[in-house]
Amino acid sequence: MRFLLCLVIWIVFVGGLYAYTEQRDRGFATENVVAIVDEKSPVRISIELTPTFSVEDDPFALQTEELKAPFDIRLNGMAVDIANLPITRGQTLFIRDLEVALSDHNEIFIKASPPVAESHLTHGIRLRLLSKDLVLADQTIWSSGGGLVSGTVPFELPVIPEIDHDH
Amino acid sequence: MKFLLSGLILFVSCLALAQTNYGSEDKPVIVASTTQIADFARQVAGDRAVIKSIMAPGADPHTYQPTPNDVQIVLGADLCLENGLNLEGKSWMATLAKDAGKPIVTVTDGINLLSIDEGGEQIADPHAWFSPRNAAVYVNNIVKAIRTVDPANKEEYESRATLFLQQLRVLDSWIREQINKIPVERRILVTTHDAFNYFCREFKLNANNNFLSIAPVGWSTGAEVGAGITPERRRKVVQSIKESGAPAIFVETTINPKQIREIAKETGVKIGGELYSDSMGAEGSAGETYIGMMRENMLLIVNALK
């Protein structure tokens, strides 16, 4: 009889403790962890590009009917329009508050042609991707020997736990 | 016996015909006058089109005489491509296309042409492909032309062209790097005929001749104005070699090397090698493509002059 009573008390105690912690963690998960975006939901991001060269007409470009910007930027395959923005050596180009649909795994593609007369130099573009104050990617794409500065930078949208000061 | 032989010939002919047509159904047929243009077209079209060249590797376009077989080739074309600017002596490609009623595109349209002053007469130099920048214009003109023949595969042609244009860009940069290995005072390029004006102007060779070709034979090996060899031209070349101290001079794959060998003997300089000029190399050779041809030429020039 004592043994059974002891077992019931133990089950009630442990069960109660389990129920409490389960309830507490469920509350924590829904209230204190904020995903930056839901999958494919639109999000505002900023792009910062700092080239080591000024862009000029490329004699080796494909001349198509559509006028192409000297910089080709594609976010998850979608072109980012920067046709009228000046691209100058050493000056950071800001593309702010771009609303795009992102998922967990994303990529940004950049292609630009440094001046042919500077083909003896190594050229690069520093790329920074930001969402609010969070740096999603920070990478420099390099090219030498007359090639295009071209590359793909993958980035992920992290899930950031917010610090709850009440706990 | 005769019956058997005739039967065998007929059978082999049928086989050859079947082989020729296999896999080429519905593909546009593009006929280029020269090997360079055919290579550019091949880089753009890939396996989407059948590319044919009228000229065989090593043939001279200035003096080329079209054959009945060429007429047949052009009759089967959907599109003809020519260099123009009298490279095809007496405009033989334009004549072939016109007679066959086929569309023809001049792929040098839009190039900043070099003019050569020949006895007061200005002649546009047709050897524009020797600058990779100009080669990019050839490629762009070819893309536009092929798109009109086969618009359904437009994006594919543009993708291939983009890749090839990037290769031309790298080639251009590589040539500049190679030229840099030659001391400035030894950057003297003497060849059999005036084919290298664009090359010399682009990469700064022959400073003592306004960055133009130095050659005993004029811009054409045919009978056009300003073409061929003259005693005056030969004397100037010998004088130029002696004054500049050029360490080597070059023969060309498409032209009899006799003149250059005589000049080399007279001036005491060595023959630097055989450059691809008006035609590319035979199939299987390093010069069978444009990039291979330019690469091999450059390596010969650097090795002989540095």
Do B112 and B160 reside in the same domain of the chain? yes
Q: What is the predicted pLDDT for the residue at B243?
A: 80
Do B293 and B224 reside in the same domain of the chain? yes
Do B255 and B144 reside in the same domain of the chain? no
A104-113, B79-88, B247-256, B259-268: range with highest mean pLDDT: B79-88
Contact by Cβ (8 Å): B155, B237: no
As a whole number, mean pLDDT of residues B105-112 equals 97
Do B165 and B197 reside in the same domain of the chain? no
Domain presence at residue B8: no
For chain A, the average pLDDT equals: 80
Confidence of residue B3 (pLDDT cuts 50, 70, 90): low
Do B184 and B224 reside in the same domain of the chain? yes
Instruction: Tell me whether residues B170 and A147 touch, CB distance under 8 A.
Output: yes
Domain presence at residue B1: no
Closest-CA residue to B234 (of B265, B258, B259)? B259
Q: What is the predicted pLDDT for the residue at B272?
A: 93
Residue that terminates a domain, selected from B119, B153, B170: B170
Confidence of residue B15 (pLDDT cuts 50, 70, 90): very low
Enumerate helices (H) and strands (E) in chain B, giving the number of each.
10, 8
CA dist., res. B153 & res. B147, Å (int): 7
Q: Enumerate the residues of chain A whose CB falls inside 8 A of the CB of residue B161.
A: 62
Instruction: Tell me whether residues A63 and B140 touch, CB distance under 8 A.
Output: yes
Which position has the higher pLDDT, B132 or A34?
Answer: B132
Q: What is the predicted pLDDT for the residue at A86?
A: 78
Residue B259 to residues A80, A115, B45, B291: CA-CA distances in angstroms? 59, 41, 39, 28
Q: What is the predicted pLDDT for the residue at A163?
A: 54
Closest-CA residue to A161 (of A1, A18, A19, A30)? A30
Contact by Cβ (8 Å): B34, B53: yes
Instruction: Tell me whether residues B172 and A116 touch, CB distance under 8 A.
Output: yes
The pLDDT of residue B214 is above 80: yes
Do B224 and B176 reside in the same domain of the chain? yes
Do B212 and B163 reside in the same domain of the chain? no
Do B207 and B286 reside in the same domain of the chain? yes
Do B179 and B241 reside in the same domain of the chain? yes
H or E stretch at A102? none
pLDDT in tens, chain A (167 residues): 677 887 888 888 787 778 777 776 654 444 333 344 445 567 889 999 999 999 888 899 998 766 566 688 999 888 888 777 778 899 999 998 888 888 888 999 999 989 988 988 999 999 999 988 889 999 999 998 888 999 999 998 776 555 555 55
Q: Enumerate the residues of chain A whose CB falls inside 8 A of the CB of residue B162.
A: 62
What would the two tokens of residue B157 be?
Answer: 């042609």
Nearest residue in chain A measured CA to CA from B174: A145
Domain presence at residue B122: yes
Number of domains in chain B: 2
**pLDDT, tens digit (0-9, with 9 covering 90-100), for B49-67:** 999 999 999 898 988 999 9
Q: What is the pTM of this model?
A: 0.80
**Which residues, 6 or more positions from B201, have their beta carbon under 8 angstroms from its beta carbon?**
B114, B131, B211, B212
CA dist., res. B220 & res. B195, Å (int): 8
In this complex, the residue of A62, A116, A119 whose CB is nearest that of residue B162 is A62
Domain presence at residue B102: yes
Q: Supply the ipTM of this predicted assembly.
A: 0.83
Backbone angles phi, psi at A128, to 5 degrees: -125, 135
Task: Report the gap between the CA of A51 and the closest CA in chain B (Å).
Answer: 19
Which residues are A37's β-sheet partners? none
The pLDDT of residue B196 is above 80: yes
Nearest residue in chain A measured CA to CA from B111: A59
CA dist., res. A88 & res. A111, Å (int): 15
Instruction: Tell me whether residues B177 and A116 touch, CB distance under 8 A.
Output: no
What would the two tokens of residue A50 be?
Answer: 């700092």
Task: Report the gap between the CA of A119 and the closest CA in chain B (Å).
Answer: 6
Q: Enumerate the residues of chain B whose CB falls inside 8 A of the CB of residue A63.
A: 140, 144
Backbone angles phi, psi at B216, to 5 degrees: -70, -25
Do B222 and B84 reside in the same domain of the chain? no
Give the three-state DSSP class for A131.
strand
Q: What is the predicted pLDDT for the residue at A35?
A: 42
CA dist., res. A163 & res. A154, Å (int): 28
Q: Which domain holds residue B268?
A: 171-305
Give the three-state DSSP class for A33.
strand
- Among B140, B155, B169, which would you mutate to test the A interface (most chain A Cβ atoms within 10 Å of its Cβ)? B169
H or E stretch at B83? none
Residue that terminates a domain, selected from B170, B190, B212: B170
**Which residues, 6 or more positions from A63, have their beta carbon under 8 angstroms from its beta carbon?**
B140, B144
Instruction: Tell me whether residues B169 and A120 touch, CB distance under 8 A.
Output: no
